[in-house]
Structure 1
């Protein structure tokens, strides 16, 4: 049986500090036929949640906020229904807030006014009491990004640029819309370009980051080597805070913790319109795997095949 292939994007597999595989293939933009290169930036979609979690941890380490803070403390208009929700609940997807499918009135590709967006989130009663159940929630991470902005007193994208990407040497990474930037891949579905989701407001903190493959591989050194964060904060990022309901799997702060392909894994995938992403560290073999593609379709057997 032929091995699954990556048609468009970047795949990197490392063991220790050695690169075992580096594959760059396909077009960054089918309309212009420009190729993907090692410098091409892709939307990493929900892997962006890890950067939001790191931002919260950095601010907590400085005493600017606490993980036990009620989220209402950091919002411009407190919502009574959210009175029991803390930043920890948002980080672990145990806040009771819904995911995108629970808010069909939101157009993920359309710009939104920030406070109006919060009002839409608040229009849906919590699905459960804070801490009661695990329910994946991108809107919860939008609230975390708003908290970072208020606690840091600067735009969220600027905080990531200065406090997360720069210290790690992730020179090809940024958050938000790609307007005017070079080396950005266009998302595709069915081989055709599709409009990007709104990354400045709607997906801020939840799916707004662009990375090169090399930068995302570097990012995996945050849990692997304890870079960027203090040891206790780095350990908390990948601690099994909340069981997800799937056998042997829990959620940390922006990371899934469990097994993949029969091996202990700390990982996350991403799925924005026209993009797919995966980043995982396998501690027992010290392997890191990064896959970034600017197409909506990807063979689900690809990751397993690369790890065997």
Structure 2
């Protein structure tokens, strides 16, 4: 059976600690011809939400904040309509906040002042009362990153570098703009390079992390081996807190929880301009699947056919 893979990117599949698939293909930068390698770093897009969730859980373990805290405690001048929203609501996409399409005034590619961005989010009333529904919301995770900054009293990217990536040995990972960093994949659409989204502010906490494929495989050991977090925090992170409306699927804290290839899994996909990403762990078979691609025309669902393959 042929192995599905992107034209540009990296695909890894393990069962236990055995590496079953290791594909590195295509150009990291079509303009220069620089190839993708195991050291190439890709935008992991919305998988970044998992790092934000872990940052919140680490601070909760240390007693710095509580998941039941109202978001108003950790944000400057929040609007009254956010008064009932807690960190738990933001983590589970049950806050009532919208996704990018609900905020047409937000330029996801352009830089923004952090408080101006919050003002644009606040201009739209919540879609429903907190806890009354489920609606995927990247802006909600931007608010979580701001809460981490305030609670930890340091920049969000720095917190991830020191408290998340370094302890896990994820030496090829970082959050924020990639200016001046080596080994970065350039996003492509229809074979042409495209500008990056703004990762320093607009996508902070929601889609701002760069990883190598090996680092993202290591990341899956957070739920798999309770690395970095206590078992209780891992259990909370991967619990099915909020049904998404798809059969058998719910959202935990930064993870989708539900069937994948017909089996129990925790997983997430990512989609930034010119990048696609996917990461999953299937606990019953102990399989881990990582896809990182710097091309828009990739269907991450296609690679799930590898799961369970001999």
Q: TM (normalized to structure 1)? A: 0.98
Q: Secondary structure at the match of 2:54?
A: helix
8 Å CA contact 2:45, 2:208 repeated in 1: yes
8 Å CA contact 2:5, 2:303 repeated in 1: no
Q: Secondary structure at the match of 1:216?
A: helix
| Counterpart Cα distance in 1 of 2:275 and 2:65 | 33
State the match for 2:122 in structure 1: 122
Q: CA deviation at 1:79?
A: 1.3
8 Å CA contact 1:4, 1:301 repeated in 2: no
| Counterpart Cα distance in 2 of 1:300 and 1:45 | 13
| Counterpart Cα distance in 1 of 2:300 and 2:182 | 30
State the match for 1:80 in structure 2: 80
State the match for 1:43 in structure 2: 43
8 Å CA contact 1:242, 1:252 repeated in 2: yes
Q: CA deviation at 1:300?
A: 4.9
How big is each residue's C-alpha offset from its partner over 1:44-74, in whole Å with a ceiling of 9 and x where there is no partner? 0000000000000000111111100000100
How big is each residue's C-alpha offset from its partner over 1:86-127, in whole Å with a ceiling of 9 and x where there is no partner? 000000000000000101111110000100000000000000
Q: CA deviation at 1:242?
A: 0.4
Q: TM (normalized to structure 2)? A: 0.98
| Aligned length, in residue pairs | 308
Runs of 4+ in 1 over 2 A off after TM superposition: 1-5, 299-302
8 Å CA contact 1:41, 1:172 repeated in 2: yes
| Counterpart Cα distance in 1 of 2:275 and 2:20 | 24
CA RMSD between the two structures = 1.0
| Counterpart Cα distance in 1 of 2:299 and 2:135 | 26
Q: CA deviation at 1:301?
A: 5.0
| Counterpart Cα distance in 2 of 1:207 and 1:10 | 19
State the match for 1:177 in structure 2: 177
| Counterpart Cα distance in 1 of 2:211 and 2:5 | 21
Q: CA deviation at 1:132?
A: 0.5
Extract unaligned runs of 5+ from structure 2.
none
